[in-house]
Amino acid sequence: MKTIGLIGGMSWESTAIYYRLMNELVRARLGGVHSAKIALWSFDFDEIAQLQHAGDWEGAATMLVNAARKLEQAGAQALVICTNTMHKMADEVQAAVSIPLIHIADATAEAIRAAGASRPILLATRFTMEQDFYRGRLADRHGIIAVTPDSKGRDVVHKIIYDELVRGIVTAPSKDAYLGEVARLRSQQEADSLVMGCTEITMLIGQSDFDIPVFDTTAIHAKAAVDFALA
């Protein structure tokens, strides 16, 4: 079994889900008391969030690159960035190490295509919904066109992530707000599926809430890491 290096703490709420899912998957596949070989670097998310909202992506990239190098030195044989948004720095992180980075958008795209979908709704942080590093990768590499809420809707989705989900707060009104955004986009944009493009969103909504395919990027990414580890 290969050792996976997790760059986490962004937030720790979703990193804990990654850790649980990866260990559950390894146990399910190998049986007994097997568990995943994991090296974890966990940030103080407040430091990362301040850089994000200040637009200091260069500073954030430096922090992720340093973490990636330390994980490689610790014996990691592949890297997982435990957040969609910070894949904005994926190229810089990959260039800084000699081990592969398992990209969350690529793993998600494979799941979307396998389900026969091509026009998913993307709910995520404002950074992921508005910038090209994620939607552009889906389109350019995989032919998948992601649709996002309007400006007001993006504000709502983003605010719930940072004011509630990264703090472990899950409320019925916020769930209703997300369900409303999905319903609007399905009617207005002819979307055929939903990507939960922030790793904390799995705390709030899931497949049982919808009659279209739902792609949980946290679960998909964790599975891709275990597939690599056990190959």
- Tens of pLDDT, residue by residue over 62-88, are 999 999 999 999 999 999 999 999 999
Query: Would you say 13 and 83 are in contact if contact means Cβ atoms under 8 Å apart?
Result: no
Mean pLDDT of 216-228: 98
145-163 average pLDDT score: 97
Q: What is the pLDDT of residues 18-59, one digit of tens each?
A: 999 999 999 999 999 999 999 999 999 999 999 999 999 999
Average pLDDT, rounded, for the chain: 97
Q: For the chain, what percent of residues have pLDDT higher than 90?
A: 99
| 105-216 is classed CATH 3.40.50.1860 | yes
- Structural domain boundaries of the chain? 4-103+220-230, 105-216
Task: Write down the pLDDT at residue 26.
Answer: 98
CB atoms closer than 10 angstroms to residue 155: 12
pLDDT computed for residue 171 by the predictor: 98
Mean pLDDT confidence for 174-188: 96
pLDDT at 38: 98
Query: In CATH, what is the architecture of 4-103+220-230?
Result: 3-Layer(aba) Sandwich (3.40)
Tell me which residues are annotated as active site. Answer: 83, 198
Q: What is the pTM of this model?
A: 0.96
> Mean pLDDT over residues 172-194, rounded?
96
Q: Do domains 4-103+220-230 and 105-216 have the same CATH topology?
A: yes
